[in-house]
Amino acid sequence: MLVTGASRRMVIGAAVARRLVADGAGVMLHSWSTYDAEQPWRADPGSPEDLVEELRAAGGRVEHLAADLSDPNAPASLVETTYRAFGRLDVVVANHARSSSQSLEQLSATEIDFSYAVNVRATLLLLQAFARRHDGRRGGRVVLFTSGQYHGAMPDELPYIATKAALRELTPSLAVHLMPRGITVNCINPGPNDTGYADPGAIAALAERSPGGRWSTPVDTANLIAWLVSDEAEWVTGQTIASDGGWSSR
């Protein structure tokens, strides 16, 4: 299994890797800590190497590759590296994302292009490489990620929501195309998710508005993914599923 976007130990990618390893899967972790180092939340010191050690100590077969997914050659290289390490690849969890805060007045062509390169182009090329290598056996799984832009306005994050909307709209077409090959494609909206970027005041304010009384957690998302990649979910494809404790249904 390949899980992208696992640069920090408290993010969704790390939680997904922990759950998949606990379920007995071999996992290739992808990271790009250079991006996190440039963000307000900063990179996680020692991660993802510490995460790899943690998972191996738990008995998991885990490998790691750092790659800049703005490089158009990186997605295919990531797939090939996974095949060399494990001999097969059945599941791709495309969790990576570039997030940027730009309103209409702040927009730049550079950021728009960069966001599309990482969030959309890299995801499509990753799936292309995966589909080319997949042998058609049952159990092929792809999980994409969107955000909450289709439930409420996010005017200060235009490059991000434009690309996340694209992934949501791509999901049905990719699912129809790949289902005959034994590959399902689904998309997750993880809701407001506590991955360390929000301050305590924001966390408390949102929790008060949430039907579930709290933020989503990476573990909540990992639990859904564990089911979507299981044999039980072989007839579920082309869906966008919100795992947010009712946040998007308010």
What pLDDT was estimated at residue 8?
Answer: 84
Query: Alpha-carbon dihedral of residues 226, 229, 235, 240, nearest 10 degrees?
Result: 70
Check if the beta carbon of residue 124 is closer than 8 Å to that of residue 170: yes
What pLDDT was estimated at residue 7?
Answer: 86
- Selection from 210, 243, 211 nearest residue 225 by Cα: 243
**What is the spatial distance between Cα 193 and Cα 242, in angstroms, rounded to a whole number?**
12
Catalytic residue among 35, 116, 150, 160: 160
**What is the spatial distance between Cα 171 and Cα 32, in angstroms, rounded to a whole number?**
25
The CATH number of the domain holding residue 87 is 3.40.50.720
Q: pLDDT (tens digit, 9 = 90+) per residue, 13-72?
A: 999 999 999 999 999 999 998 877 676 656 566 678 999 999 999 999 999 999 999 999
Looking at residues 89-107, what average pLDDT do you find? 95
Determine which of 165-169, 174-178, 211-215, 231-235 has the lowest per-residue pLDDT on average.
211-215
Share of the chain above pLDDT 70, in %: 96
150 is annotated as an active-site residue: no
Full-model pTM:
0.93
Find the DSSP H helices in 87-150: 109-115, 122-133
Structure tokens at 78: 């990531």
Phi and psi, residue 242, nearest 5°: -90, 125
Q: pLDDT (tens digit, 9 = 90+) per residue, 156-175?
A: 999 999 999 999 999 999 99
What pLDDT was estimated at residue 41?
Answer: 56
Average pLDDT score over the chain: 93
**What is the spatial distance between Cα 185 and Cα 179, in angstroms, rounded to a whole number?**
8
Phi and psi, residue 93, nearest 5°: -105, 100
Looking at residues 62-85, what average pLDDT do you find? 97
What pLDDT was estimated at residue 127?
Answer: 98
Per the structure, the complete domain to which residue 216 belongs is given by 2-249
Check if the beta carbon of residue 185 is closer than 8 Å to that of residue 174: yes
Q: How many domains does the chain have?
A: 1
**What is the spatial distance between Cα 31 and Cα 11, in angstroms, rounded to a whole number?**
11
**What is the spatial distance between Cα 201 and Cα 211, in angstroms, rounded to a whole number?**
18
Q: pLDDT (tens digit, 9 = 90+) per residue, 107-142?
A: 999 999 999 999 999 999 999 999 999 988 889 999
